[in-house]
Amino acid sequence: MQPILIILLILCVGALLLVIILLNKSTKKSQSNTIVHEEKNLELRKTFHKIDEKNGDYESSIQYAKRLVDAIFKIGALVQFDKLDYFLLYRPKDIISGDFVWHISKYDRHYFAVADCTGHGVPGAFMSIISYNLLNQAVNEHGYSKPSEILEYMNRRHFEIFNEKNINQIRDGMDIGICVVDTDSEIVEFAGAMRPMYRISANGEFEKIRGDRTSIGDAMDRGAVKFKDHFLELSEGDTIYLTSDGYVDQFGGLEGKKFKNRKFNSILSEMSKNNMKEQHKKLNFELSNWMKEHEQNDDITVLGIRFCP
């Protein structure tokens, strides 16, 4: 009896030891698991913090860029024109934008442009700043006076800067409408690169003047494309509009469709009796009403200029 008891006892102790060892092992494992989890958590937290920091950096850098862009384009600055009233509807999709508005006056010739550069956000803003400077150069340094000459200069320079050595066939450029409102001769001169100009007379008569079907930056003829000038008489109460395609291409409505040209045109005709401030409000209202929950899909710009001698 005695040896059997001893053997049993040994077996029991052995089993117990085995259980203890096994248990110990598994605890160790789970302990190490917990450690791994904690490590991973810490890593994640660090990454989140980094992203947060980067985001903050990005945000403040964009905000700073916006300050520079605002300073360059003087958006919202109050410019007074003799014999002209105007409004500017400007809604960038992001903080900074690929749409921009340019203006310069030479005696009674007032130059206006609304441009829509490829891309929006940061790349759009880069392109905007370059193009804005080219416009100033065209008039101030080279003395170009016709809208077609300004577009031809822009196109040449764009081709040289962006596309001449570009072997990828990616075309960077912009669509732009330029008009010169001559309050002395009482005419408007217009030339467009893939953008039209609208003219609504005081009695609501609607006219759309189409620009050329060439974008700025087009490589045709190595940048030596010719643009056409359109000359229009300007009577008291006439309003002309330059736009980017953002407004008519905005998705919205019950079926989430584009706003479309026809609707935009009829709004312009309908509000011919309204002053510039009211028109600004109306276009803003119609846009918000259309968009509702829809996200803005592009930069939106509408410039309205009324002749009031």
Partner 1 sequence: MEEKKLHKSDEGYLKFVHELHKVLLSKEIILVYEGEVDQSITKAFTSLIERNLSGSQESIMLQKRVYHVMVECLQNICKHSDHMLTGESISPGEGVFVVAKDHDSYIIVSGNAVYKRKLDSLTSTINHINELTIDELKEYYKIQLKESRLSEKGGAGLGLIDIARKTEKKIEFILEPINDDVVFFIMKFTIPKAI
Name the minimum Å distance from CB 111 to partner 1: 14
* Among 25, 40, 46, 142, interactor with partner 1 by CB under 8 A: 142
Name the minimum Å distance from CB 185 to partner 1: 5
Residues 238-257 that bind partner 1 (CB under 8 A): none
Cα–Cα dist 167/163, whole Å:
8
| Amino acid residing at 153 | Y
Stretch that binds partner 1, among 46-54, 112-120, 142-150, 238-246 (CB under 8 A): 142-150
Least Cα distance to 38 among 27, 46, 49 occurs for: 46
**Binding flag, residue 230, partner 1 (CB under 8 A):** yes
* Among 62, 66, 156, 185, interactor with partner 1 by CB under 8 A: 185
Residue number, 141 or 293, with CB nearest to partner 1:
141
Residue number, 37 or 228, with CB nearest to partner 1:
228
Sorted by sequence, the CB contacts under 8 Å of residue 299 that are 6+ apart come out as 91, 92, 93, 97, 98, 99, 116, 120, 124, 244, 246
**Binding flag, residue 231, partner 1 (CB under 8 A):** yes
Cα–Cα dist 154/156, whole Å:
6
* Among 233, 236, 270, 278, interactor with partner 1 by CB under 8 A: 233
* Among 232, 248, 276, 308, interactor with partner 1 by CB under 8 A: 232
Count Cβ atoms within 10 A of the Cβ of residue 179 and give its class: 0-12 exposed, 13-18 middle, 19 or more buried.
buried
Which residue shows structure tokens 């008291």?
236
* Among 3, 5, 143, 170, interactor with partner 1 by CB under 8 A: 143
Least Cα distance to 267 among 292, 246, 285 occurs for: 285
**Binding flag, residue 107, partner 1 (CB under 8 A):** yes
Radius of gyration from C-alpha coordinates of the chain: 32
Tell me how many residues contact partner 1 (CB under 8 A). Answer: 15
Contact positions vs partner 1 (CB under 8 A): 107-108, 141-145, 149, 184-185, 187, 230-233
